[in-house]
Amino acid sequence: MAEHDHQHNTHEHVHDEHEHTHQHDEHEHTEDEHGGHGHTHGTVNPDLYGNKAGLRAVQISTAGMLLVSIIQFVIAIVGNSAGLFADALHNTGDVLTTIALWIAFALSRRAANQRYTYGYYRAEDLAGVFIVLVIIASAVASAIESINKLTSGTPPTQLYLSMTAAVVGIVGNEVLAQYKISVGKRINSVPLIADGQHSRIDGLTSLAAFIGLIGAALGFPIADPIAGLVITVVILTVVYSTAKSVLQRLLDSVDARVVPTIIREASAVPGVEGTDEVRARWVGHTLHIAMNIEVDAELTLRKAHEIAEEVRHRLFHNLEGVSEVIIHTDPHSHDGKDPHKLTAHHMQEAQRSIAPR
């Protein structure tokens, strides 16, 4: 006996910036928001990007970083500062990454169809790849400019004006970084968190540029291009962690607590006698779950369906970001017979690995 449940369509999700509220069959449930990775508590509205927080975050970030980068580019060119120029390049890269996220969020609002049955949420993950590539490109550009200034020996001018621009970069980047990381964690967007980390690195590079300009003002003009090279190294250090997060998401990685939580929540439902083949993956910022549960073989189809629905209900309310739960119901066997014996050879031919209980 097997059932493939339709998508959850009886829950109205209402969100504001401080709480997650869930309405189901005229009963209201409120979940507190938790810190940390937050993969196992509360629920996230899959349409949050289209409605409020996601698009607002990238719109504000794009406008803010565009302003900062323009100011720094103009002053870097006038003042001939390699460090400030490298910082301006990195800030321009941040503008490009937020534009990429803007496009991705807009695409993710499109409805699923027969060709793209999971919708367009993967556009967010592709934006994460673009962010990694932009970080690498900004590191290369920064290194080239700094080496050119180092070999030419051209000292920077307009030092105090350049220092002011560097301070603008420090403050502006950190404010935007905190904002994007906060929103990204709340709506569970790896690309938005990565972009926030990118902005934080921008703030550190602005600090390095500021220190280099101080060195030049104290009579060490070589300090400016050296600061540019230091910025390059700092940029490269963020590539690994950011690329790791993005690639893990592309490979359908989930937090180590997700599957045990799914099993625990399902097993707590009366009538569930076992769980098997538990699978979960993120599609953009939405969590998709598929699993088998075992119930008494003598139950009616209606009763077995009720048990499966209760499992789905618990998962929607107790795991963050869940937008789909597909449950296959198996008869619990006391004689050791495999209910999937008929299709077992197909699984072997496909070399499909089975998730453990």
| pLDDT cut 70: percent of the chain above it | 80
pLDDT value at residue 294:
94
pLDDT value at residue 352:
59
pLDDT value at residue 263:
96
pLDDT value at residue 195:
75
Q: What is the pLDDT of residues 292-341, one digit of tens each?
A: 999 998 899 999 999 999 999 999 999 888 889 999 999 987 766 777 77
* One domain for residues 246 and 271: no
* One domain for residues 245 and 97: yes
Residue at a domain's end among 250, 272, 304: 250
Q: Report the Cα–Cα distance between both ends of the chain, in Å, rounded.
A: 20
Mean pLDDT on 271-278: 92
Q: Which domain holds residue 337?
A: 11-40+255-349
In a domain, 170, yes or no: yes
What the block records as the tokens of 280 is: 């979960």
pLDDT value at residue 36:
32
Mean pLDDT on 135-163: 76
In a domain, 5, yes or no: no
Distance of CA 254 to the CA centre of its chain: 12
DSSP lists the bridge partners of residue 291 as 327
- Cα–Cα distance for residue pair 64/332, rounded to 1 Å: 58
Mean pLDDT on 67-77: 82
Residue at a domain's end among 220, 250, 280: 250
pLDDT value at residue 335:
67
**Ramachandran bin of 36, using left for φ above 0, alpha for ψ from -120 to 50, beta for the remaining angles:** left
**C-alpha dihedral sign at 170, 175, 177, 178:** positive
Residue 212 has pLDDT above 70, yes or no: yes
- Cα–Cα distance for residue pair 240/136, rounded to 1 Å: 10
Q: What CATH number is given to the structural domain containing 335?
A: 3.30.70.1350
Cβ-contact 125, 192 below 8 angstroms = no
Return the DSSP state at 40. S
In a domain, 2, yes or no: no
Q: How many CB atoms lie within 10 A of CB 298?
A: 8
How would you class 114 by CB atoms within 10 Å of its CB: exposed for 0-12, middle for 13-18, buried for 19 or more? exposed
pLDDT value at residue 31:
36
Residue 11 has pLDDT above 80, yes or no: no
* One domain for residues 225 and 246: yes
pLDDT value at residue 154:
66
Which residues, including other chains, have CB under 8 Å from residue 269's CB and lie 6 or more apart? 307, 310, 311, 314
Residue 148 has pLDDT above 70, yes or no: yes
pLDDT value at residue 278:
94
> Which of 135-139, 262-266, 271-275, 277-281 bottoms out in mean pLDDT, i.e. has the lowest?
135-139
Return the DSSP state at 261. H
Global pTM reads 0.60
Into how many domains does the chain fold? 2
In a domain, 3, yes or no: no
Residue 170 has pLDDT above 70, yes or no: yes
DSSP line for 283-341: ETTEEEEEEEEEEETTS-HHHHHHHHHHHHHHHHHHSTTEEEEEEEEEEEPSS---TTG
pLDDT value at residue 301:
93
Q: Using 50, 70 and 90 to split pLDDT, how confident is the model at 102?
A: confident
Return the DSSP state at 319. S
Residue 134's alpha-carbon distances to 147, 179, 206, in angstroms, are: 20, 21, 18
Cβ-contact 259, 355 below 8 angstroms = yes
pLDDT value at residue 347:
67
In a domain, 205, yes or no: yes
Cβ-contact 197, 235 below 8 angstroms = no
Residue 188's alpha-carbon distances to 134, 177, 322, in angstroms, are: 22, 16, 11
* One domain for residues 32 and 54: no
In a domain, 93, yes or no: yes
Of 49, 32, 29, give the one whose Cα is nearest residue 41: 32
DSSP line for 51-102: HSHHHHHHHHHHHHHHHHHHHHHHHHHHHT-HHHHHHHHHHHHHHHHHHHHH
Helix (H) or strand (E) holding 34: none
Q: What CATH number is given to the structural domain containing 179?
A: 1.20.1510.10
pLDDT value at residue 217:
84
* One domain for residues 215 and 335: no
In a domain, 179, yes or no: yes
pLDDT value at residue 266:
96
Residue 25 has pLDDT above 50, yes or no: no
pLDDT value at residue 56:
78
Q: Considering the chain, what is the average pLDDT of its residues?
A: 75
* One domain for residues 108 and 226: yes
* One domain for residues 115 and 160: yes
| pLDDT cut 90: percent of the chain above it | 17
Residue at a domain's end among 235, 250, 265: 250
* One domain for residues 26 and 65: no
